[in-house]
Amino acid sequence: MRLEQKKAIVTGGAGGIGRATAMALAAEGAEVAVVDLDGEAAAAVAAEIRDAGFRAIAIQADVSSGADIERVVATTVAEFGGVDVVFNNAGIIRRTTAVETTAEEWDRVFGVNVRSIFLMCKHVVPIMAAAGGGSIVNTGSGWGLKGGGRAISYCASKGAVVNMTRALAIDHGPQGIRVNSVNPGDVNTGMLRDEAQQLGEDTAAFLAEAADRPLRRMGDPREIAAAVVWLASDESSYVTGSALVVDGGGIA
């Protein structure tokens, strides 16, 4: 049990990667607040974790909202007594070029993917610092480290996540707070199906292309979760500001 007594927040906790990570953190002993825009789905994940014999609560929230983030942090502290681990993972993608993207869509992608992490850190860092430290993991993307086609707002937002992570690590390392990004390649979740739909492509063909990488398959959400558990735990005690790539060799 690598996370015994730890209290964790997972955003996008009802989605593919978030759900797998919430389960994995709980299985390592953490108490988990499952946060998602879809409150019903978050409640189902929390119930699944409790059914497995672990501790979890669900919180419906829009992570781009300052008021919602404040409520998430306050609720978690009230229920669990603190926050030691945060997985800032909620994210959305728009498969459009700059010409095709509206200013509103751009702002929404940045609100969910980037502003959310700033807001969460604004509220959890003081709590972690007062407790002597903590671990924050942010979900970037392979496309945050290199470019990708027809996803201008997403690529820009994930690049921001990677570099914001480094800046946070510099600012808050002296307080014992480690901040890292996990950068997945194509992982088999609802997001890929959403992308196929947005691009008007056949889902099976899109998924087959996503599997075309050195390890010859897409990632499983549990493989991202395993990396997040490691970054959340003391096993990675000297790792901060890093951009960990978990992508089956797709980026190299």
Two structure tokens written together for 67: 């008021």
Q: Of the two residues 91 and 159, which places its CB atom closer to ligand NAI in the complex?
A: 91
- The least CB distance from residue 203 to ligand NAI, in Å, is 14
Instruction: Name the β-bridge partners of 245.
Output: 183
Contact footprint for ligand NAI (CB under 6 A): 11-12, 14-18, 36-38, 61-64, 89-92, 112, 139, 141, 184, 186-187, 189-192
Instruction: Name the β-bridge partners of 86.
Output: 9, 136
Phi, psi of 140 (to 5 degrees): -95, -135
- The least CB distance from residue 177 to ligand NAI, in Å, is 21
* Contact in structure between 112 and 65 (CB atoms under 8 Å): no
Q: Of the two residues 131 and 207, which places its CB atom closer to ligand NAI in the complex?
A: 207
Catalytic site includes residue 238: no
Element (H, E) at 240: none
- The least CB distance from residue 65 to ligand NAI, in Å, is 8
- The least CB distance from residue 7 to ligand NAI, in Å, is 19
Two structure tokens written together for 131: 């407790």
Q: Of the two residues 129 and 246, which places its CB atom closer to ligand NAI in the complex?
A: 246
Cα 59 from Cα 86, distance rounded (Å): 14
Cα 229 from Cα 225, distance rounded (Å): 6
- The least CB distance from residue 40 to ligand NAI, in Å, is 10
* Contact in structure between 16 and 192 (CB atoms under 8 Å): no
Cα 113 from Cα 93, distance rounded (Å): 9
Q: How far is CA 134 from CA 19, 22, 162, 233, in A?
A: 21, 17, 19, 9
> Which of 54, 80, 143, 154 does the annotation list as catalytic?
154
- The least CB distance from residue 2 to ligand NAI, in Å, is 22
Q: Of the two residues 48 and 62, which places its CB atom closer to ligand NAI in the complex?
A: 62
Residue nearest to ligand NAI (CB): 15
Element (H, E) at 9: strand 7-11
* Contact in structure between 191 and 16 (CB atoms under 8 Å): yes
Q: Of the two residues 107 and 234, which places its CB atom closer to ligand NAI in the complex?
A: 107
Q: Of the two residues 37 and 86, which places its CB atom closer to ligand NAI in the complex?
A: 37
Cα 31 from Cα 50, distance rounded (Å): 10
Which residues are the active-site residues? 154
